[in-house]
A and B are shown apart, each in its own frame.
Chain A
Amino acid sequence: MSTYPEDAADQYRCIELVLETTPDAAVISNLGTSSWSLIDIEDRERNFYMNGAMGLTTATALGLAISTDDQVTVLDGDGSLLMSLGVLSTVAERDPSNLTIVVMNNGAFETTGRQPTLSKNVDVGAVAADCSLESWSVGSTEEFADAYAAAVEHDGAALIDLAVEPFTPEDYPSLDYAHSHIKHRFRTAMAGDR
């Protein structure tokens, strides 16, 4: 059902907009392109980069959102979310107002070589709405900027289905940290106001 506009949004620029709009947000990024882009834009203490556990990105953000008052933004992917579509029902049950789910919908398993996903058969925004989540379906960087600001303001969990151009960084940014460093840096940064 998804039909991507010719001028689908620029994923990298949209992640920059997330950081500009909510500079203090905890950002949990799906494995692959979202994580690489986020690292490349800014390796913030409040970033957590999934590097496995495909399908678990939004569930992880939900667990954090019910444990902090701060904004939590998740950069998920269409392939990852389709693996665990049931998580939207779990999110809806708690409906935390500090949780914003951005689905970088490129219609492909980008990291493994851009093989198509089945998201062409699913209107992700409509599924979220069916789970009683507030949702937006957008296809340009400009529309995303408005939708993201509204989603953050919304009094409840919100999902943005963002049609993006398939994109792979030319060089993978290096992240020369141990897992234990990243997890403790993130956890400590979240503890700042506890």
Chain B
Amino acid sequence: MDWHDAVVDAFNERDVEVVAYLPDSVLAPLIERLEEESFDTVLVSREEEAIGVLAGAWFGGRRGALVCQTSGLANTFNAMGSFTVPWGIPFVGLVTHRGGLGEHNRAQIPAGYGMPDLLGALGVRNRQLDSALDVKSQISRAAETAFATEDAFVLLMDPKLGELA
């Protein structure tokens, strides 16, 4: 299954309607697909806005996803630390994980390679999407637990997922 299909199917299965995003080269085709499938996409000017947009959408009865890169997720840390976590605002994150295998830009390493530890310190549950397992199921279960427990759950995704999965 193409990983774009997996995302669409998982979001549909868990009634995720709103996708707040800031794209990169890996995510742009996914966003295009999500727009074709009539998801409500919101391009933000800085990723921390997405934390607010998704909270507001949830207050309005809708479920949302954050789609961005690890560098952008680092931009959200005060927002997650003083809004998402203490208030228990659910969303699922699908985040391109920079800083690891094949990384060519040192600027992506501290917040990219270190992101699991950074999220752990903040108290945001996270997991690496495993290309050897069913991708749709992992996204669906991340959303399931996020909305059931009213908590954020971030899936970190290898930029080469499309070639691995």
Contact = CB atoms under 8 A, between A and B. Distances in A.
Contacts of A56: 48-49, 51-52, 55, 79, 83
B54 interface: yes
B28 interface: no
Contact of A67 (B18, B44, B46, B48): B18
A186 interface: yes
B50 to A, nearest CB: 8
A91 to B, nearest CB: 10
Interface string B32-49: 000000001011111011
B86 interface: yes
Chain A interface, >50% SS class: helix
Nearest to B89: A183
Contacts of B89: 183
A59 B56 contact: yes
A63 interface: yes
Give the bracket for the number of chain A residues in contact with chain B.
Answer: 35 or more
A138 interface: no
B88 interface: yes
A127 B108 CA distance: 32
B42 A90 contact: yes
Among B57, B60, B61, the one with the most A-chain Cβ atoms within 10 Å of its Cβ is: B60
Which 6 A-B pairs rank lowest in CB-CB distance, beginning with the nearest?
A: A63-B56, A67-B60, A52-B82, A59-B52, A86-B45, A64-B56
Interface of B: 18, 20, 40, 42-46, 48-62, 64, 78-79, 81-83, 86-89, 150
